[in-house]
Structure 1
Amino acid sequence: MIAGRCLAGAARQQVTRQAPQQLFRPAFAQAQSRGYSVTKEENKVAKFPGSKGSDGKFTVSLIEGDGIGPEISQSVKDIFSAANAPVKWEPISVDPVFKDGKQAIPDEAIDSITRNYVALKGPLATPIGKGHVSLNLTLRRTFNLFANVRPCKSIQGYKTPYDDVDTVLIRENTEGEYSGIEHVVVDGVVQSIKLITREASERVLRFAFQYAQDIGKPKVRAVHKATIMKMSDGLFLSCARKISKEFPNVEFDAELLDNACLKVVSDPTPYNDKVLVMPNLYGDILSDMCAGLIGGLGLTPSGNIGDECSIFEAVHGSAPDIAGKGLANPTALLLSSIMMLQHMGLTEHASKIQAAIFKTLAEGKTITGDLGGKAKTHEYADAVIKNL
């Protein structure tokens, strides 16, 4: 139930004022500081192939989304404009159409994202129980966005029961239990097939090792349940061991899913030096659980990475109950847009905007209601602009 998700989870606690911090430092700078060898540019998985137009700007497809989507998207546009980010927006609609009886993305939207190589997406609502396929899932399948990247790091200035969280989760995004292969065996018995392939596993695992190098994490850990699902998760685990040999500067180990969940909520700090990579369903659950450690989905960025293009998004719901009231928190979409800028190589602008966001949150004066403040959406955005 996408629309039903709250914007910031446990975000009713009072904000404390602390010094701003760097959450998602430019990847290459981190790698240099740790002295790791970085994957050669020509060998990189899912590198951004776009270039500036004659006006000196990159064109980015913008899916504003439903509910509060247009409001938080406007905040991003205003802040990017104030920061002189070399980005121009191409608004598109992904309202579904039907081709040959199947739900699909409009050709105009497909052409835009394919041409621009990158998109920023607000929350999309999916009607419940009416046979509609999730638009988020449709987008992932349409553009073969094989890896979902979810950094979860404590934000100074917003206190939760957990301190110094710094996890990165990478989720295989195209198969597993979400392959949608289901059928009725007999009345009252439904079979769902979990699909794991060597090709998809190796692709997301190679990306995870590359990502760990780029952001300066010394370890990659595969999260699995191969003790029970010996063939499917067993294949994923064997692929991980194979791919790890291509990255001798990154340590590799593996952990059972249930153990990982227990340990992360008991003490997340041992996971600060690791990138966790896992099959689809495990990643869906574990990434939301880790988001809860830092305050919820309203503070968590997300990127869906593909070989041809990538889509960065806010993963919280569309919150139709507060749409149009100016109460929405744009932080998740803003942090996702920072991930997008880093992916595009615009690290200077990413750092500038990011610092302004963290300063605004740390000050605690102009923050939205879900973070304990009283500011409207546009007032929060104005405060970020002043802190630029």
Structure 2
Amino acid sequence: MLKSVASKRTLATAAQTIIPKEYGGRFTITLIPGDGVGKEITNSVVSIFDSEKIPIDWETVDISGNDAADKVNAAVESLKRNKIGLKGILHTSAADQAGHGSFNVALRKKLDIYANVAHFKSLEGVKTRIPNVDLVVIRENTEGEFSGLEHESVEGVVESLKIVTKPKSERIARFAFDYAKKNNRKHVTAIHKANIMKLGDGLFRNTVAEIGNTEYKDIEHSAMIVDNASMQCVAKPHQFDVMVSPSMYGTILGNIGAGLIGGPGLVAGANFGKEYAVFEPGSRHVGLDIQGQNVANPTAMILSATLMLNHLGLNDKADKISKAVHQVIAEGKTTTRDIGGNASTTEFTQAVIDKLATL
């Protein structure tokens, strides 16, 4: 179990040092509950932090409703003040994008939070088809298919621009190799579709190879076409160590990774930029279908919050909470229905709090 706890610290150790505001030994952190089950699972974090007297004050920015686009700007200003945020997933309806694109993408682009990291690792107590999965997906957050540049040139004809640049490909490549080096990972695989998009994805693939060959000669690297990588990830996930990709491919592989280890409610995640860090579940499922039912699994959000604590240097607190979560899941007595139990969100949260009291 201690090995599992230690592994959860790795996401926060690959980024540059980001110093948040601290007053009297307390940190002010931006809290963005998100849509769907976001408020329910961020409430779990707040309750656990209160029980452990974690020295954090929350500055809550609720991005929802008809004026959500304006609230994104408020969230950006809050994050600029506090440097660090904990965030639920924001929902942008596909039928409601005439005036704006994804709110999640908007936050990342406005703050240049360019690297998303998600660690997909099997958990004791969760039954899956393939055991002992342990892979990391790192994706570029600010360009590629998610550049958000599209228009209708003539009626019925939409042009959507995919932007790939060498500087941004270089920095995500360096981030991936740095992550591998700092966390004793041996191999980086660049995911691409350069057989079709020879210039755009070719630039990404070649840039990752160039950075690996010249700056990280001690780490093995390779490249794989995204459709083959998706199949290989399902059939033989143990061949992968660190995967680095443009935006869309990372989202696809992230959902595959979540399926491999038991579902989106288990995956912790983090987003890093030069100045800011935002922690959120690693698999972007809003949970609109179970909103308000008190059945969501808060594990991903809780473990994302422990990554945030590690980032703040509160390692003992982070390890204790992570250990409690892993023990509750391993015991299997109070788990949510997505992993075979029948506990509610609040019952699982209370079980973690009760477990913490014994550690």
TM-score by length of 1: 0.83
- Among 66, 82, 86, the residue aligned to 1:120: 86
**1:238 to partner: Cα distance:** 2.1
The 3 A distance-change label for structure 1 pair 358 and 241 is same
Residues 236-255 of structure 1: per-residue CA shift (max 9 Å, x gap) = 12221222222233222222
Secondary structure, aligned partner of 1:303: strand
Structure-2 residue corresponding to 1:243: 211
- Among 182, 200, 205, the residue aligned to 1:214: 182
- Among 216, 232, 250, the residue aligned to 1:283: 250
Structure-1 residue corresponding to 2:279: 312
Structure-1 residue corresponding to 2:45: 76
2: CA distance between counterparts of 1:239 and 1:97?
41
- Among 239, 253, 264, the residue aligned to 1:297: 264
**1:221 to partner: Cα distance:** 1.5
- Among 124, 138, 161, the residue aligned to 2:129: 161
Q: Which amino acid aligns with 1:255?
A: M
Residues 143-181 of structure 1: per-residue CA shift (max 9 Å, x gap) = 111111111111110001010000100011111112122
Q: Which has the higher contact order (CA 8 A, sep 6+)?
A: 1
Q: Indicate whether 1:339 and 2:307 are aligned.
A: yes
Runs of 4+ deviating beyond 6 Å: none
**1:319 to partner: Cα distance:** 2.9
2: CA distance between counterparts of 1:106 and 1:251?
40
**1:129 to partner: Cα distance:** 0.6
**1:23 to partner: Cα distance:** 5.5
Superposed CA RMSD? 2.4
**1:376 to partner: Cα distance:** 1.8
Residues 2-56 of structure 1: per-residue CA shift (max 9 Å, x gap) = xxxxxxxxxxxxxxxxx7860652657x9xxxxxxx9xxxxx85322225321x1
Q: Which amino acid aligns with 1:57?
A: R
Structure-1 residue corresponding to 2:145: 177
2: CA distance between counterparts of 1:24 and 1:199?
33
1: CA distance between counterparts of 2:314 and 2:73?
29
Residues 176-208 of structure 1: per-residue CA shift (max 9 Å, x gap) = 112122233444433322110011111111111
Q: Which amino acid aligns with 2:18?
A: F
Listed as ranges, the gaps of 5+ residues in structure 2 are none
Structure-1 residue corresponding to 2:22: 52
The 3 A distance-change label for structure 1 pair 363 and 45 is closer
Q: Indicate whether 1:142 and 2:124 are aligned.
A: no
Secondary structure, aligned partner of 1:269: helix
Structure-2 residue corresponding to 1:64: 33
Q: Indicate whether 1:254 and 2:220 are aligned.
A: no
2: CA distance between counterparts of 1:22 and 1:288?
21
Structure-2 residue corresponding to 1:7: none
Secondary structure, aligned partner of 1:126: coil
The 3 A distance-change label for structure 1 pair 346 and 144 is same
Secondary structure, aligned partner of 2:304: helix
The 3 A distance-change label for structure 1 pair 24 and 281 is farther
The 3 A distance-change label for structure 1 pair 65 and 175 is same
Structure-2 residue corresponding to 1:25: 7
1: CA distance between counterparts of 2:335 and 2:306?
19
Residues 345-373 of structure 1: per-residue CA shift (max 9 Å, x gap) = 32222211111000000001011122222
Is contact 1:205–1:243 with CA below 8 Å preserved after alignment? yes
- Greater mean deviation of Cα atoms: 246-255 or 226-235: 246-255
- Greater mean deviation of Cα atoms: 209-218 or 357-366: 209-218
1: CA distance between counterparts of 2:304 and 2:71?
22
Residues 262-283 of structure 1: per-residue CA shift (max 9 Å, x gap) = 2111111121xx2110111111
Secondary structure, aligned partner of 1:277: strand
Structure-2 residue corresponding to 1:110: 76
- Greater mean deviation of Cα atoms: 82-91 or 57-66: 82-91
The 3 A distance-change label for structure 1 pair 142 and 248 is same
Listed as ranges, the gaps of 5+ residues in structure 1 are 1-18, 31-37, 39-43
Q: Which amino acid aligns with 1:283?
A: G
The 3 A distance-change label for structure 1 pair 316 and 235 is closer
2: CA distance between counterparts of 1:47 and 1:323?
36
Is contact 2:72–2:103 with CA below 8 Å preserved after alignment? no
> Whose helix fraction is larger, Structure 1's or Structure 2's?
2
Q: Which amino acid aligns with 2:19?
A: P
2: CA distance between counterparts of 1:305 and 1:113?
12
TM-score by length of 2: 0.90
2: CA distance between counterparts of 1:51 and 1:184?
44
**1:381 to partner: Cα distance:** 0.9
Q: Indicate whether 1:88 and 2:57 are aligned.
A: yes
Structure-1 residue corresponding to 2:236: 267
Structure-1 residue corresponding to 2:323: 355
Number of positions where the alignment pairs a residue of Structure 1 with one of Structure 2: 351
Question: What aligned pairs does 1:4-23 form with structure 2 within 5 A after superposition?
Answer: 22=4
